[in-house]
Structure 1
Amino acid sequence: MNTVLVSLLVNSGIPLVLGATLYAAPSPALNAHAVPFGVRVPPDKADAPEVSEQRRRYRALLLPATLVVTVAALVIGAVLDTVAVGGVAALVLCVIAAALWLSAHRALARAKERGDWYKHVRQGVVTDTSLRTDPVRLPWVWTIPSLMVILVTAVAGAIVHPRLPETMALPERTSSGTVYREITTTFWTVFSPVFAQILLTAVVIGTLAAVLRARADLDVSRPRSSAARHRRYLGLTARCLLGIAALLNLMLLGLSGMMWSDNRTGAVLSLVIGGPLLASVAATVPLIRNGPGGFDGSDEGTGLVPRDDDRHWYGVGTVYVNADDPAVLVPRRVGIGWTVNLGNLRFLIISAAVLAIAAGATVVCAV
């Protein structure tokens, strides 16, 4: 009965949560207000009838699709007695949402071209040089929780290592549930969670260091207030991501304890994994509520609008390619955060080097 209940919760919960997220995707809280469905428009056209119509159509079609996919996942999951259906349902929903987004993107691009929306506006760009000369600093104090968790994990591993048996049980998720795989007890297997924590923390810090110096997408009509808001958003982003890193490190500490003690209790495993993950999701709420766009009206308008740069964006506004742009990271058009400039030579060289090193390491390990 417990297995059936878990299957029902997973197979219905995954598509419902994902459907709610995709339903909110066109909201200005998750996208730049003047870039609906990945199409750059003048600010006064951000709520034009054509834009509102595409938002209504996207949501009107996605809502019943979510309900149908959820019901189908429940029925099929109950018949097959597996939680794998939830993942398949999520994939189907993503395909449906992508098709609806593509349709809206094309419709707005055609409306923008037919109406010549940029004909009578003054386009411009703005930059804040102080973001380079006096950038937002990485809040190192927020790395302390992650470092403390890593230290606790390392000390605990050093204490229990001599008393561990020859093999340990490592939990793994499969389509039929959680299974445990026996692994040989060595220094590397015992302290693998510590290495994972160190790598995770280093990646987050490195990513933040790049983000804090990434190009800002400032509002050319209100440059002063937009720059101030961008600085606040960068600080909030840094604190949230470092907090999430600490929560994920805490999850790895819990998994380490279960592995070292051979604790295979399902409830404990769910708490160790689910608790930090839910807290991490909650930590993203401030980022969504306080996006990088907008202004407080403290400075006078310039009368300019952001320049039309649609020609550099592909994949309905998700892929940026501009060889003339020196920026490696640029603000995303779809969703919040940043994306890479695939036309930047430095990024391509670094990516090729990383891939070459990874391929070489794989070959060496195989030999």
Structure 2
Amino acid sequence: MNTVLVSLLVNSGILLALGATLYAAPSPLLNPHSVPFGVRVPPDKADAPEVSEQRRRYRALLLPATLIVTVAALVIGAVLDSVAVGGVAAAVLCVIAAALWLSAHRALARAKERGNWYEHVRQGAVMDTSLRTDPVRLPWAWAIPSLVVVVVTAVAGAIVYPQLPEMMALPERSANGTVYREITTTFWTAFSLVFAQILLTAMVIGTVAAVLRARADLDVSRPRSSAAQHRRYLSLTARSLLGIAALLNLMLLGLSGMMWSDSRSGAVLSLVIGVPLLAAVAVSVPLVRMGPGGSRLVLESADGSGGSKGMGSGGLGGPGAPDEGTGLVPRDDDRHWYGAGTVYVNADDPAILVPRRVGMGWTVNLGNLRFLIISAAVLAIAAGATVVSVTMGSS
């Protein structure tokens, strides 16, 4: 069995895995329960017949599309003797899923409007001010493994650098699988992956710091327990992200070792890349199980029994304080969300990061002036650095 055929079979497996992920996308396990297909609905309408019908339709159309695209990619790739078809097929499958999602989003928006789903409910909002006065702290101890791996890589590089050959081999993906590109040995190329480690670590720490300050979408019907859930969710998410950063730095350490030793073993490359990535996926599983915003977290009460507990003196209630049973539902804020619930624009919202309503995690508020100024500054710096680099390279 030649290399191209093996790559095609691997790409087919990836396509099927992608299709399975897209198939599960409308599940409440991966999205806020009361925001099906990016449409905000009252909690008692989250499993309405209209919602269930759109889920069935989305999946009934996506499943055969996944099989057709996968088979077509395998056949066309074999005929053209190219694995690049797999990337095109993945893009096609994502476009099909996006079109089905948009269709379901529009259908539910029309159903909500026709049925006046918010006509007889009390809307409200809640916030935990202690997230500003007593925020969840960044767990710096969990950043130590990443920093240690960076130091180890840098020290190892400093030791081997004087003995490196004039040319080094850098593994790259191509249409014909993994190839090795010869690069001139300089300080910058030899330590390029060390710089990547430093950048990765800084980005993850910055992301965690931003996430800990992001706006919390608390459940207005049970503000105290949802506030406790959110704090626990932030703490576990911060630790998981820093743990994933350490695993990715280990992968970069392995790639640096291969580059410095001129190793071109496919088996070693697979281990260096595969093991840390699989471990990172394993670390990510608990994040998915917690649900969007930690909605499925079960907190232990003060006596050790299952159930929610209060926030303490700095939160929304004392220890063991019961939820009020407010009878409120989240505000209908669809007017601030575009692109089938994927893009948030609200100039009146001071938050830069807000919880996603499609998928898990956070997204940016494109209507926030501070975010726009920061983004413009970063783009200007990047453009200026590119121009300087091109000018120096041509002179």
Give the TM-score normalised by structure 2: 0.91
1:207 aligned residue: 207
1:221 aligned residue: 221
Q: Aligned pair 1:305/2:329, yes or no?
A: yes
Query: How far is 1:254 from its partner?
Result: 0.6
Letter in 1 for 2:83: V
Letter in 1 for 2:71: V
Q: Aligned pair 1:196/2:188, yes or no?
A: no
Residue 77 of structure 2 aligns to a residue whose secondary structure is helix
Q: Distance in 1 between matches of 2:27 and 2:259?
A: 43
Letter in 2 for 1:191: F
Q: How does 1:163-312 map to 2 (within 5 A)?
A: 163-291=163-291, 292-294=293-295, 299-312=323-336
Could you tell me whether the CA contact under 8 Å between 1:219 and 1:294 is conserved in 2?
no
Query: How far is 1:334 from its partner?
Result: 0.3
Greater shift in the superposed pair: 42-51 or 78-87: 78-87
Q: Distance in 1 between matches of 2:191 and 2:35?
A: 46
Q: Distance in 1 between matches of 2:123 and 2:199?
A: 44
Residue 118 of structure 2 aligns to a residue whose secondary structure is coil
Q: Aligned pair 1:340/2:364, yes or no?
A: yes
Aligned residues: 367
1:130 aligned residue: 130
Could you tell me whether the CA contact under 8 Å between 1:150 and 1:197 is conserved in 2?
yes
Q: Identity rate of aligned residues, in percent?
A: 86
Query: How far is 1:287 from its partner?
Result: 0.8
1:329 aligned residue: 353
Query: How far is 1:238 from its partner?
Result: 0.6
Query: How far is 1:4 from its partner?
Result: 4.1
Query: How far is 1:14 from its partner?
Result: 1.7
User: Unaligned regions of 5+ residues in structure 1, if any?
Assistant: none
User: Unaligned regions of 5+ residues in structure 2, if any?
Assistant: 297-306, 309-321
Q: Distance in 2 between matches of 1:4 and 1:163?
A: 36
Deviations 1:12-63 (A, max 9, x none): 1121111011011011111000000000000000010100111111111111
Residue 325 of structure 1 aligns to a residue whose secondary structure is coil
Greater shift in the superposed pair: 104-113 or 282-291: 282-291
Deviations 1:206-235 (A, max 9, x none): 011011011001000110010111111111
Q: Distance in 2 between matches of 1:219 and 1:213?
A: 18
Could you tell me whether the CA contact under 8 Å between 1:11 and 1:77 is conserved in 2?
no
Q: Distance in 2 between matches of 1:74 and 1:170?
A: 29
Q: Aligned pair 1:354/2:355, yes or no?
A: no
1:152 aligned residue: 152
Q: Distance in 2 between matches of 1:6 and 1:227?
A: 49
1:84 aligned residue: 84
Letter in 2 for 1:163: Q
Q: Distance in 1 between matches of 2:195 and 2:101?
A: 40
What is the root-mean-square deviation in Å for CA atoms of aligned residues? 1.2
1:44 aligned residue: 44
Q: Distance in 1 between matches of 2:129 and 2:84?
A: 50
Greater shift in the superposed pair: 171-180 or 251-260: 171-180
Q: Distance in 2 between matches of 1:312 and 1:220?
A: 19
